[in-house]
Amino acid sequence: MRKVAVVGIGHGKFGVRSDASLRELAFEAVKACLDDAGIPLKEVDSMVTGIAGDEFALGLQPSAQVHDYIGFHPKPNFRVEGACATGSIALRTGIMNVASGLADVVLVVGVEKMTEVPTSIATEIMGKAGDSIWEYPFGTTFPGYYALIANAHMAEYGTTEEQLAMVSVKNHYYGSLNPYAHMQKKITLEKALTSFTVAYPLKLYDCSLITDGAAAVIIASEERAKVISKKPVWIVGAGLATDTLRLGDRKSLTSILAAREAAKTAYKMAGVGPSDIDVATVHDCFTIAEIVAYEDLGFCEKGEGGKLIAAKETYVGGRIPVNVDGGLKSKGHPIGATGVSMAIEITKQLRGEAGERQVKNPEIGLAHNVGGTGQVVAVHIFRRE
């Protein structure tokens, strides 16, 4: 396979974007990305668009909305979908295009517009990502799914509601420093713990936001990357794995098999291990998800994730800074854009461009993106030049 690097990044503002349509959100990120790479759109050979929900997009060809609006036709563009891991699967697809030689320069766009439907409808739509026969018809929702995981983790390992809230406090702190974040405000531990219960033990501040937004990256072959960028960030590991659709068919609720397997593949490909990672973005759709991710990625022993956040080891300056862009919790979770946004944050960190959130001199970064409750998980590892 050919080497692949990120050579351009573009991030739109996440939030309730009543000022922009789906296609306009995508244009915002693509323009920023092209400007960052310093190349015109005509130099891009191919495009991959990650959009998770037809029901959110209000159309059956949302990727066509995007390529038409940015003027990309007649070049190749197609849509991928993998629930909440859609953005990272789009990135993986772009990597395969470049690594195989099908294209030299690929634009990867992730976008979602979720707030044009009421919150109750958005919750129902996302609930359909569970088993459509044995889960969704019985009223399951994603707060409910992750509440099951949280309760199991608390029962098995003694994880506490306070430790869950500590994840939220950390991510809101870093979100307050991120101009692209949906919720740019700090919260206290008390505020998190006293917010209303959504699905016990998960409270309001344990849950990520329903968000509009877009993110885009340009990736290129080694030959083109060295021409386009003075600071290419190499994608050196790519893991993808799956698990059962139904939670009830899994051996454990306290770990996600697909995350462990995807991480194993990515670490092996990159020739590194968990202790080599300098900065990470992980899928914190709910605070328990971040704690489980610490363990599944090998940042701590199984059952020790709560202690890792309590010791502030996942803050900047700690052993393994995690989600110092605010994560899904504070930055927001426009489903198709999330994985691409993660890649952008790691690229910024490795370039040394993260401002107040900058980790000191990172060399290797990791992005972990979970689809649904772990039906599909993507892990990518990045290394700076």
- Do both 165 and 42 map to the same domain? no
Query: Are residue 151 and residue 201 in the same domain, yes or no?
Result: yes
- The amino acid at residue 317 is G
Residue 204 has pLDDT above 90, yes or no: yes
Rounded CA separation 385/382 (Å)? 10
pLDDT at 60: 84
Task: Please report the pLDDT score of residue 76 as a whole number.
Answer: 98
- Answer yes or no: is 141 within a domain: yes
Q: Are residues 196 and 216 in the same domain?
A: no
Classify residue 330: in a domain, yes or no. yes
What is the arithmetic mean of pLDDT over 163-172? 98
Mean pLDDT, residues 297-310: 98
pLDDT at 118 over 90: no
Residue 124 lies in a domain: no
Question: 3-class DSSP state for residue 352?
Answer: coil
The average pLDDT across 152-158 equals 98
Residue 314 carries which DSSP code? Answer: T
Looking at the fold, whether 61 and 185 belong to one and the same domain comes out as no
In this structure, the answer to whether residues 100 and 134 fall within a common structural domain is: no
Beta-carbon contacts of 106 under 8 Å, excluding residues fewer than 6 positions away, are: 44, 45, 46, 47, 48, 94, 97, 98, 218, 219, 220
pLDDT, tens digit (0-9, with 9 covering 90-100), for 29-77: 999 999 999 999 999 999 999 999 888 888 888 999 999 999 999 999 9
Q: For all residues of the chain together, what is the average pLDDT?
A: 96
Per-residue pLDDT band for 334 (boundaries 50, 70, 90) equals very high
- Residue 380: domain span: 130-207+235-384
Q: Is the domain of 11 the same as that of 47?
A: yes
Q: Is residue 308 part of a domain?
A: yes
Q: Is residue 376 part of a domain?
A: yes
Residue 123 lies in a domain: no
**What's the pLDDT at 55?**
82
Catalytic residue numbers? 84, 333
Summarize pLDDT for 235-249 with one digit per residue, the tens: 999 999 999 999 999
Count how many domains the chain has: 2
**Whole-structure pTM value:** 0.97
Q: Is the Cα torsion angle 187, 191, 196, 201 positive or negative in sign? A: positive
317 shares its domain with 274: yes
| Torsion sign, CA atoms 302, 246, 322, 350 | positive
Is 307 found in the same domain as 225? no
Q: Compute the average pLDDT of residues 335-354.
A: 98
Task: Establish if 326 belongs to a structural domain.
Answer: yes
Q: 182 in a domain, yes or no?
A: yes
> Could you tell me the pLDDT band of residue 304, with boundaries at 50, 70 and 90?
very high
Same domain, 272 and 362: yes
CATH number of the domain to which 74 belongs: 3.40.47.10
Looking at the structure, do residues 217 and 300 belong to the same domain, yes or no? no
CB 354 within 8 A of CB 324: yes
| pLDDT tens digit sequence for 354-381 | 999 999 999 999 999 999 999 999 999 9
Cα separation, 39 vs 360, whole angstroms: 30
The pLDDT value given to residue 124: 86
Mean pLDDT of 2-14: 98
CA distance 294 to 25: 32
| Residue 293, amino acid | A
Mean pLDDT of 220-233: 97
Instruction: Report whether pLDDT(126) > 90.
Output: no
| 297 and 371, same domain (yes or no) | yes
Kindly state whether residues 306 and 353 are assigned to the same domain: yes
Ramachandran category for residue 115: left, alpha or beta (phi over 0 → left; psi -120 to 50 → alpha)? alpha
